[in-house]
Structure formats: structure tokens, C-alpha cells
């Protein structure tokens, strides 16, 4: 598995831009920390880490001028961005046909939402795996606390407020967001996750 991961990460470097690569690394570490906070198994925590690393690999097919557009996306541009989830699944299966199904599921479904409003398959709560629920929260949180071409970064507390609203609206998992509050309150724990020592991912 380590050799496979090394090969995929090297390929990932060539497929996505530096910002997407950095985001993927942060999501991987945060998702692993959330897995620990939720008391998940070592195997599941490793799945979260690998899924986080690979979740945005499909953004390599999105034109840079669309991916980094500073203003509102046009409908066709949004379709191009949303296509990255299914494209990522195809890329992982092509590069690593033996990849664990749980990780492939994360790559395809990390933008699904519990109320069925996500993409690409409009899954609802009962069809969304625990790993996808965790990656979804880590993905949104990291996007919110970092600058994007179309908006400034939010503070961690502002970002948690956005996530709380997503929970109230039935889109994100309440238990995972509660775990995120615990993880972000534990600065030492979050630092261990960020430098790769958390998540039992060795």
C-alpha cells in the first residue's frame, strides 16, 4: 500500500496545481484527526488519510482559468468544476485498479450532502458512507479557512459557524462537525495531524 500511495502522490503532483495539492494534504491530515476523535479503527483512519490525499485528483481535468476564477462561475463553468468528482474516480481506477472501494467512494462522493443536494449522484443520508461524511466536513472546513480566488479566508470560528448552519440545514453530519470542534480546540492534536504524526497513518 505504501508503494501504491507513493506512486499516486507523485502522479498527483503532475496532475493538479500547488494550491489543490496543499489543500488535499491538509484535508488528509484533518480527516485522519477526525477519525481518531471519533474513535474509528486504524484501518478506517488510514482510509480517511488516503481518501483525503486523493479526493480532488479529478481537478486536474478542470481548466485553470475556471478553477481559479475570481468571480461567480457561469453554469457551464460550474458543470466543469462539478465533473471533477466523477473524473477523479475514473483517474484513480485507471491509475490503481486495486484501490480499496472505500477510497474510490470518497473520491467520487466527497461533494454529496445528506439532504441530497450534492453531486455527482445526489445521494441522501442513508447512502453516504461514514468516510465520505468525514471527508466532506474536512474538505469544507479547509476551503473556508484558506483564501480562495472568489473570497477571503474565514477565521476558524467563522468557518465552524458555517458548518453548524450546514448541520442545521441537514447537509453535513452533526457528529463529525462536533468532532471537528474538539479537534480544532486541541491545538496540539491538530498540529500533530498537520505535520503528519496524527491519524495513525504510517
State the distance between the two ends of the chain, measured CA to CA, in whole angstroms: 11
23, 59, 84, 110: the active-site residue: 59
Query: Is 147 within 8 Å of 153 (Cβ atoms)?
Result: yes
What is the chain's length? 202
- Residue 192: CB atoms within 10 A of its CB come to 17
| Dmax (CA) of the chain | 43
How far apart CA 2 and CA 48 sit, in angstroms, is 15
Own/partner pairs, 63-66, CB within 8 angstroms, 24+ separation = 64/17
Please report, for residues 12, 44, 117, 182, the alpha-carbon distance to residue 132 in angstroms, rounded to integers and kept in the order given.
20, 11, 15, 19
> How many DSSP H helices and E strands does the chain contain?
11, 0
How far apart CA 12 and CA 115 sit, in angstroms, is 31
Looking up cell 502522490 gives: 9
Query: Is 69 known to be catalytic?
Result: no
Active site amino acids: 59
Amino acid at each position: 500500500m505504501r508503494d501504491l500511495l507513493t506512486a499516486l502522490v507523485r502522479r498527483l503532483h503532475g496532475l493538479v496545481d500547488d494550491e489543490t495539492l496543499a489543500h488535499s494534504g491538509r484535508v488528509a491530515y484533518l480527516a485522519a484527526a477526525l477519525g481518531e476523535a471519533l474513535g474509528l479503527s486504524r484501518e478506517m483512519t488510514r482510509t480517511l488519510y488516503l481518501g483525503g490525499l486523493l479526493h480532488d485528483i479529478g481537478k486536474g481535468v478542470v481548466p485553470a482559468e475556471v478553477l481559479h476564477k475570481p468571480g461567480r462561475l457561469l453554469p457551464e463553468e460550474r458543470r466543469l468544476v462539478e465533473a471533477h468528482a466523477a473524473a477523479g474516480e475514473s483517474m484513480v481506477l485507471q491509475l490503481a485498479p486495486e484501490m480499496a472501494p472505500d477510497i474510490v467512494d470518497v473520491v467520487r462522493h466527497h461533494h454529496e450532502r445528506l439532504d441530497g443536494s450534492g453531486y455527482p449522484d445526489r445521494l441522501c443520508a442513508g447512502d453516504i458512507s461514514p468516510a465520505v461524511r468525514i471527508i466532506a466536513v474536512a474538505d469544507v472546513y479547509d476551503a473556508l479557512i484558506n483564501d480562495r480566488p472568489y473570497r477571503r479566508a474565514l477565521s476558524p470560528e467563522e468557518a465552524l459557524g458555517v458548518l453548524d448552519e450546514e448541520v442545521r440545514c441537514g447537509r453535513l453530519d452533526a457528529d463529525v462537525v462536533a468532532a471537528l470542534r474538539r479537534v480544532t480546540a486541541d491545538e496540539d492534536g491538530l498540529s500533530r495531524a498537520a505535520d503528519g504524526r496524527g491519524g495513525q497513518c504510517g
